[in-house]
Structure 1
Amino acid sequence: MSGDTYHFGDSVNMHGGRGNIGMIKNQAAPASAEAPSPELEAAVRELVALVRELRASVPAASARAIDDSLPDITADPAAPPQERHRALMAVAGIAATVGAVGQPVIEAVNRILELVG
C-alpha cells in the first residue's frame, strides 16, 4: 500500500502571495445546554409525585417497571429524547391499566410530551 496517503485534520498549502496571516477557523465552543423551562420542571415534579402514589395501586412487576422508568423522566434538555419518551410511554401504559386512578398520571405524561415536543 505504498503511495496511499491518509490525512486527518487541517491542511494548508500556500504558494506565494502577500499578507498571509494564517488560517481562520471560525469555530466556536459548543453551546452550553440551555436550562430546562420552569414549566417543564414543574410538570416533571408533578408527574413524579403522581407516579409515586400510583405505585401503591399496581402489581409488583409494574412497580418495578415504574422504578426503572423514573430515572429517564427528567427535565434535563440534554437527556436523550428517545429514552425520555420510552419512559413516559411506559408509565402512561401502566397508568392506563388501573383505570381512573391512573388518569392524572396519563394527563401529566401528555403535558410533558407537549412541552418537550
Structure 2
Amino acid sequence: MSGGGTHNYYGDNVNMHGGTGNVGMVKNQSAPAQAVPDGLEQAVRELVLLIQELRGQVPEASAQAIDDSLPAITADGSAQPQQRHGALMAVAGIAATVGAVGQPVLEAVNRVLELLGVK
C-alpha cells in the first residue's frame, strides 16, 4: 500500500521522531478490579481491633511482626494475595503462641481467610 490517508492500527502503535531518553511505552492498562467479598471489610476491621489489643500483650519482637503485617492485611485489595495470606498467617502464628489471649485473633484471621476463599 502506498499513499492514501487511511491507517488501521491494531494493538499498540508507537511513533517516535528523534529525541533522546526514549525508554519505553506507557501502556495505560490496569487489571480489572476484583470484587470484594461481602463482609470482608467488616471482618478486617474487627481483626485489626483485636490485633491492636493483642499487640500490647506480646513481646516486642512479636509486636514488630504484627506491625510489619498490618499493611498487607488492611490494604484494600492492593496487596498481592500471597502477601496478604502471609501476613494473616504471621498474625495467626503469634496469636496461637499466646494461648487464650490470642484465640479471638485466631478466630478473626480464620474468618478473613474464609471470606478470601483461602480456607
TM-score if structure 1 supplies the norm length?
Answer: 0.71
Compare CA radii of gyration and give the structure with the larger one.
1
* Ranges in structure 1 where 5+ consecutive residues have no aligned partner: 1-14
Of all paired residues, the percent bearing the same amino acid is 67
CA distance in 2, matches of 1:62, 1:24: 54
CA distance in 1, matches of 2:46, 2:94: 17
Structure 1 partner of 2:101: 101
The Cα shift of 1:37 comes to: 4.0
The CA RMSD over aligned residues, in Å, is 2.4
Q: How many residues align?
A: 98
Residue identity matched to 2:47: L
TM-score if structure 2 supplies the norm length?
Answer: 0.70
Structure 2 partner of 1:88: 88
Relative distance call for 1:31 and 1:91 in structure 2 (3 A) is closer
The Cα shift of 1:78 comes to: 3.5
| Residue pairs, 1:56-67, within 5 angstroms | 56-67=56-67
The Cα shift of 1:51 comes to: 0.4
Relative distance call for 1:114 and 1:73 in structure 2 (3 A) is same
Deviations 1:59-88 (A, max 9, x none): 111001001100110252342001100000
